[in-house]
Structure 1
Amino acid sequence: MNILVTGGAGFIGRWVVKKLLLDGHRVAALDDLSNGRLMNIEEFGDNPDFLFIEGDIKEREVVGKVFAGGFDLVYHLAASINVQDSIDDPRTTYENDVAGTFNVLEECRQQGIKMLFMSTCMVYERSLDEAGISEVHPVKPASPYAASKLAGEALTLSYYYAYGLPTVVVRPFNTYGPFQKSSGEGGVVAIFIRRNLRGEDLNIYGDGTQTRDLLYAEDCADFVIKAGTDSRADGQLLNAGLGKDVSINELAYIICKDKNRIKHVPHIHPQSEIQKLLCNYDKARSLLSWQPRISLEEGIARTSEWIAVQGVNR
């Protein structure tokens, strides 16, 4: 197929691009490089089936020109992804995650192209359910980022119901692995590993009892691609995660093995914190026969090796 990946130079986007190329597809990656990085996709530069396009999904003319080539499938991953940035500057997050999504959806509608929308587990209401959070769990937009993702979800599914356009919404839980940034927010595993390799303390927001369900990047990419290529996912909303959660305190100890180097600092956005994130991915397992393959321990080892090779100061 001829496939477009918006946000294709981003962390998850580059893994989706890589797997699609390995599967024999032609892939165009559209990215404005506000979050993505050219280093993420440099290994694909000599592949004749890969095309990188620098452009912004907020610009309708740019999106129209990109779609002029014709695509069979669109993976829409481009987005503003930082919770704190969305609190400080909600307009930018809205324009990227809602208005930009509308532009992509409209092109897909006009050409009858299936679109997958990448959402997030951050849309969910807090839960202490040991069975994990399923797709029917209540949502709570505790940040403009979560609200914008929920709006993007609703738009995406409305095109399925109103126009019969094949669309699917996915909510991966906390994804990590090689190529994730180790600065800013959202890359807690990468941040902890880099600080550990430097011999620095590991700083935890709040008391560290909050838990995360950590999904390795290649497992996430496999899930995203399955959801996009399998018609059984059309019109569906699907979770993906490891199915096991770990507290941030435990995660820090797994990585550094020294409690004296684990420090707690004031939370930057406690109002948007979800205390327990544990994924129930039964729907994806039954519908798509998908399940994660990489354990947390193996994923941390692979990520540590990659960061060490890259150099801890990069």
Structure 2
Amino acid sequence: MSNTVVVTGAAGFIGRWVVRELLERGYTVRGLDDLSNGSHRNVAAFEDAEEFELTEGDVRDEETVSELFDESVDACIHLAAEIDVQESLEDPQSHFDSNVVGTQTVLEACRETETRLGLVGTCMVYDMDDSGSGIDETHPVKPASPYAASKLAVENLAEGYYHGYDLPVTILRPFNTYGPYQKTGMAGGVVSIFTNRDIQGEPLKIFGDGTQTRDLLYATDCARFIVEGTFSDEAVGEVLNAGTGTDISINELAEAIATGDTEITHVEHHHPQSEVQKLQCDPTKAKRVLGWEPEVSLEEGIGRLREWLRDEADA
């Protein structure tokens, strides 16, 4: 057994942490990324490793994708996707093409080679109007954007391959993930944006009243969940959520990140219709099926991210 894993979206934020997790576990990784959102910088630490190879290409290209698969491949972790909610509202076609057509291409490659698939979805597929005390996998779905709709569509496609062809598929839905290598502009996550602004001495801008909450998962915990979920025989055919099980308001998050005399301001929300008021995961099933639990606290995660951003600024 050669222990080779195909990772699509390998040079993205979560992708690079998944690659790192796999390499540390002794796997050989064949990465695919079109670098529209990911970058060589994200995977620079691995590019000299014999066990890592990055192919620059489009997940919708059947030839490019099929060339990554052969009898030595044990699994595919599919992360390549367009992930911007606001952009999907402005350009739904590109999200459909990348997410739905791209996933179909990956599913066909997996079917032809009988390769198990870890499909990385999103918590944004859930009905956010009634999230109660935590969202588990039985929670109703209600995609509120073309992005979320495309992600739910590909989960259904993958389930069709599981039931129709007996393809080993696991659907993995991490909640809000943050950490080093995440973008710090508007396309980044709130933790990365706030921490970067605090380092720069700029005000932390909160959209709306700041009472909205998030369940924040550190990048290494997310990567561990994705790898373990993909390889677990008990998880095949299942949907699994990953989060800490605790949410924090954006106001409290800003207070936790702001240092010295960093100002915290509230600004009008530029797309209030897509705001999620409460986002809290119930990760009970992942613990039961995988024995997985998050290890990095929010305080520690912010500290690691701050140190990394400082080093980047000094580099």
What is the TM-score of this pair, normalised by structure 1?
Answer: 0.96
Show CA shifts across 1:234-274 (max 9, x none). Answer: 00000000111001111111101479711122222222222
Cα RMSD, aligned residues only: 1.5
Task: Kindly indicate whether the alpha-carbon contact (under 8 Å) linking 2:30 and 2:68 is maintained by their aligned counterparts in 1.
Answer: no
Distance of 2:272 and 2:278 partners within structure 1: 13
Match of 2:78 in 1: 76
Q: State how far apart, in whole Å, the 1-side matches of 2:136 and 2:227 are.
A: 20
User: Which residue of structure 2 lines up, in the alignment, with residue 65 of structure 1?
Assistant: 67
| DSSP-derived class of the 2:111 partner | helix
1:6-155 counterparts in 2 under 5 A?
6-68=8-70, 70-127=72-129, 129-155=131-157
C-alpha separation in 2, matches of 1:126 and 1:155: 23
The residue that corresponds to 1:227 in the other structure is: 229
Distance 1:55 1:68, change over 3 A: farther
Deviation at 1:67, TM superposition (A): 2.5
Deviates further, 42-51 or 61-70: 61-70
2:81 counterpart SS class? coil
**1:132 partner SS:** coil
Q: 1:113 to 1:260 in 2, by over 3 A?
A: closer
Superposed displacement of residue 131, structure 1? 3.0
Cα distance in 1 for partners of 2:95, 2:216 equals 24
Match of 1:252 in 2: 254
Q: Share of identical aligned residues, percent?
A: 51
Deviation at 1:143, TM superposition (A): 0.5
State the AA in 2 paired with 1:25.
Answer: Y
Matched, 1:241 2:243: yes
Contact 1:166 1:235 in 2 (8 A): yes
Letter in 2 for 1:236: E
**Whole-angstrom CA distance in 2 between matches of 1:129 and 1:265:** 25
2: CA distance, partners of 1:129 / 1:93: 26
Runs of 4+ in 1 over 4 A off after TM superposition: 127-130, 257-260
| In structure 2, C-alpha distance between the alignment counterparts of 1:166 and 1:46, rounded to whole Å | 32
Structure 2 SS opposite 1:4 = strand
Whether the 8 Å CA contact 1:215–1:292 is kept in 2: the answer is: yes
Q: Which residue identity lines up with residue 13 of structure 2 in the other structure?
A: F
**Stretch of structure 1 that moved more, 70-79 or 5-14:** 70-79
Secondary structure at the counterpart of residue 128 of structure 2: coil
2:267 alignment counterpart: 265
Deviates more, 1:239-248 or 1:177-186: 177-186
Distance across 1 between alignment mates of 2:92 and 2:260: 38
Cα displacement string for residues 97-126 of structure 1 (whole angstroms, at most 9, x for unaligned residues): 111000000110111000111111111112
Number of residue pairs matched by the alignment = 313
Contact 1:75 1:116 in 2 (8 A): yes
Q: Does 1:175 align with 2:177?
A: yes
Q: What stretches of structure 2 of length at least 5 have no aligned partner? A: none
- Asked if 2 retains the 8 angstrom alpha-carbon contact of 1:175 and 1:220, the reply is yes
Q: Deviation per CA, 1:45-100, whole angstroms, max 9, x where unpaired?
A: 11111101000011222212232575210000000011111111111111111110
Superposition TM-score, scaled by structure 2 size: 0.96
1:157 matched residue in structure 2? 159
1:218 aligns with 2:253: no
Tell me the equivalent position of 1:306: 308
